[in-house]
Amino acid sequence: MKIQNENDKALDSNFYDNSILNNNIVVLNQQVDTLVLHLYPQQKMNEKQLNDYNIFVDDLNELKSQAQAIQGEQVKRFTRKIIKDVDFKVMATCPGRFGVNLMCGNFQMMFNKITNKTNAPIIKIEFRSEFLTRFGYVDCINQVFNVVKSFLPTFKIKVYELHLCTDFQGYDIQEADKDRMSFRNRGLQDFTEVDNTLFASGRKKTGFSFGKDSFMLRLYDKTHQIQTKKTAGYVQPLRWDTNEQFDSNSKVWRLEYQFRRDYLKTLVGKDGLVDGFEQVLNSIPDLWAHAMKRFVHYDLNKQQCTDMYHNETLDKKGNLIPLTYETIKKRKQRAGLSNLWKTLSTFNNTESTHNIVKYKEVKRPESEYIINSFKGVVTTMVKYSHGDFDRDKLNEYIIQANEDELNKSGFSILDNAKLKCLDYMNDAKKIYVENGVVMNGFEEYNKNLKENLTKHWNSISDTTKKNDFLAACIKKGTMLYSNVHTDN
């Protein structure tokens, strides 16, 4: 970090330490480390394709039943099924909401039948990390889809989970690095593992994470993980040993970002909403750059981090004073990005070409809200009536609520409900104007809303009330979609 002038230097004369700079950081490997896909049925599937798939799943369930009849350890309870020359284990149990689980050495598939009751995924595919490390995600996807198309010729793909990682040497992560990090939702969690080395016994910290399940950072000692979990050692011969700068005597650290669909579908990238399969995989360098901006590692030395941990520091006279939020913020601004973050800023030397932005999705109305709201009304009324329920009394409450609303706003409950639909569409329009994103179903909602508002306006017999309702619509701004098209 270059100190701009003596005034800035004087503010932190006891704390600036250039030793953190110009570390010889070596990037050994960057890759897609975890990939989980959800497959959905295509609308263009014909009846034969649908029936053939469901028969295929029925056959798998029969094999699952045979596996369940096997006695012994859980891992040994399976039967076998060969699909496109791939030998799968049909397991006796299946995790989550899927019915049957197939496993092979490179990937895992879970299945549900196609029904008319849900839009849920029918297949879940989990790629093993070693498979992705050995072949790369593009070849892995092609290999797996070659198998899937043998029993499901057409399907829609969504990325459920994606992990991007970087392995590096030349900077050893320490406890103070937690205070060098900044993220809007810290969600800090330490990683600890059993340590029975020559000089230690018990548990040791091997890294930490920030964030939530849908969007997380993990920063941990990959060397230690390999030493304690031998099945993770494939990465060294496949990736590290091929790098001339790899030092087998030094630790390798891994920076890993986890993206899940709940988070991905709130992002807008170069191809619009980062929701579809192609959009996600074509945005990997942009997603990495986005994560590096959301999680930031600052060029702060150990003493500064100690001050932040204790929320106190020394003034120029040596007196202990509280360290305020604004002071911490200014320190980070002056410090800037660490050399570590600058070095790891790109993914496989590919610069980000588009700044991914996050938008707040418009909250959609759901039938469950209506059901739960009605349950709440009945429950509250019965409690108030000491366990009794009187339909006439319920009608009185409805009339009273409508009168209260008329006195308060000049409109009935129904009038106001119609007007609030305009607020909902205004929010949707705002998202479209800012990001160019039109969410599924909004065109139809817009069309029906126009028709229903017109119908309601025509049904009002009182001229004054009719004009008041129209004025309220205009005041809210009818910002409804016009000539906007979106793919379903």
pLDDT exceeds 60 at position 13: no
Mean pLDDT within 353-380: 72
Structure tokens at 392: 């006439």
The confidence score (pLDDT) of residue 147 equals 97
**Higher local confidence (pLDDT), 16 or 454:** 454
Average pLDDT, the chain: 82
Structure tokens at 211: 């964030």
Query: Distance (Å, rounded) from C-alpha 102 to C-alpha 456?
Result: 55
Q: What does the pLDDT look like over 420-453, one tens digit per residue?
A: 887 777 776 666 555 555 555 667 777 888 888 8
| C-alpha distance across the termini of the chain, in Å | 49
Q: Which of the residue ranges 49-63, 238-252, 465-479 would you say has the lowest mean pLDDT?
A: 465-479
pLDDT exceeds 80 at position 273: no
Q: What does the pLDDT look like over 65-83, one tens digit per residue?
A: 999 999 888 778 999 999 9
The confidence score (pLDDT) of residue 479 equals 43
Per-residue pLDDT band for 221 (boundaries 50, 70, 90) equals very high
Handedness of CA 24, 28, 34, 35 (dihedral sign): positive
DSSP-assigned beta bridge partners for residue 255: 166, 219
In the chain, where the domains are located: 6-31+165-358, 45-153, 370-476
Query: Distance (Å, rounded) from C-alpha 91 to C-alpha 61?
Result: 10
Nearest CA among 266, 166, 286 for reference residue 215: 266
DSSP-assigned beta bridge partners for residue 111: 100, 123
Q: What does the pLDDT look like over 397-427, one tens digit per residue?
A: 888 888 888 888 888 888 888 888 877 777 7
**Higher local confidence (pLDDT), 473 or 242:** 242
Query: Distance (Å, rounded) from C-alpha 89 to C-alpha 323?
Result: 58
DSSP annotation of 361 reads P
The radius of gyration computed from the CA coordinates of the chain, to the nearest angstrom, equals 29
Query: Distance (Å, rounded) from C-alpha 111 to C-alpha 60?
Result: 9
Q: What does the pLDDT look like over 43-65, one tens digit per residue?
A: 888 899 999 999 999 999 999 99
